Structure 1
Amino acid sequence: MPTSPLKQVLIYVAALLVALSILAPLLWLFLMSVSSANDLTQIPLRWIPSHWDFSRYQQLLSLAPNSPGRLFLQAMLNSLITATGATLVSVLLAIPAAYSFSRYPGREGWLLACLGMYMVPPVAFILPLYFVLQRLGLLNTHWGLMIVYCSLILPFLTWMIKNQFDALPQDIEQAGRLDGLSTRQILTQITLPLAKPALGAAALFGWLLAWDEFFYALLFTNNADAKTLPVAIADFMAGRATDDGLIAATGIMASVIPLIIAILLQKVLVSGLTEGGSKG
């Protein structure tokens, strides 16, 4: 059934509004990052900078001692290590767990329990996690944050991947069993290749959850050795004389890596979300 011209116009208008709602804050953040302090405090507000100043980006890319760039780049590296490590571990654990929940009925209670734990406010886990990390000597370390982030990411990825496994046809797996393949071989040689786009989408969402996490990183890190990017950005706001332009520049720089990853994995992300949405 062909789409009417009016419906097409409404679709494009809706898409334009969504794009503007996403891009407008980023545009304003960029304008703030290249505006002078006078422009940012002027009344009425000056929307277009009188002088374009990119010096804040130079500061953030500098490795000079005690410079904002040294803290920012170290925090970005810490975020990359912890988010990537936690995502890899969570995906490796979520795949067999999701396959078990999907292919063996009667275990949904365990999955619901995991999701229920995921919905508990993070503040309820502060003391137990703190004492565990303290006993293991993992406070203010990458490994400690990875463990904490896995507790956040793993239930979400298990549920997401399980839904993708449910949507896959099981006839091919049954044929593999008739050919003598073990459960591990069926999972690695048949199921995972079919679910590859969904795995990419799930891994991306899990990585973004860890990349943006602030609460636990604030509590379990105390110096630049493991401090992540959200906490470092908050530190820039803690001084008496806050440079709003510098904070805006850190926000722009912090969004670069997720943007690059999303562009590179765009086809995988769209394919995975489409397959998940077509279930049933």
Structure 2
Amino acid sequence: MPPHRHHWHDLPAAVRREVERHTGGIIQAESLPDGASCELAVTLHTPTGRVFCKGGQADGRTGWLYRKEARINPCLPDAVPRLRWAVERDGWLLLGFEHAPGRHPRLEPGSPDLDAVADLLAALARELTPCPPVEVQPFTDRWRGLIGPELVNGDTLLHTDMTPRNFLLGDRLRLVDWSAPCRGAAWIDTAFMLVRLIRAGHSPAGAERWAARVPAFVEADGEALTAFTDALVRLWERMQCTAPAPHRGPLLDAARQWRAHRLSRQPVAT
């Protein structure tokens, strides 16, 4: 279950004052209506402009995610909003980011946003290879027992959470919420996004044609891609059994479609 969402004025006064040491007086605080697994997600209007603030209980079940995101942010390219400050006070850990205005990209067939998504994924794979000198989990460890390590091993810093909610399209496309990074093969983020395209209405073949705009995906080994689809289906089947959620069913169906497409292209043994 997602954590309980707090509002700005739910925070202890001392925590709010500590934030204001970085921002100046808060003119207005707008809670985000939806979002990922953070207990607080607000846009703060300050005398010098807007700031996006996220966080939660420092020792809660998601506290380690905030610390990881704060640690990795300085290593990321400028397509990622910069971390301006971090506040830890009275049991709360809050991160203040450069505000990135925009809407989430549309992924359905014919969307004019698809080119920008492919271009950003190609740029990130290029700019984050080799992996910056920051401690992150190898993808081979995260998917241990699901896939042969040699198939997904690599030296690219990956985002791994390709929900459209993590992309913001304004004057350019930005990628936010780097709380689940991994080090692995350069094509993995594009593969995760390809499943999202199938969910949005693309055929598996059409989604692969889109992914061919990303050089790292073109260079991926075919056996590795097929194994990835099988591992993803098995992983999401397990998650849907243990923690069912409305969004997981359509994603699982999309992953199954891609796996069937990959398997249909394999030569039949005689």
Both structures adopt the same fold (TM-score exceeding 0.5): no
The structure in which a higher percent of residues are helix is 1
Of structures 1 and 2, the larger Rg is shown by 1
Q: Shorter-chain TM-score category?
A: under 0.3
If asked which structure has higher relative contact order (CA below 8 Å, sep 6+), I would say 1
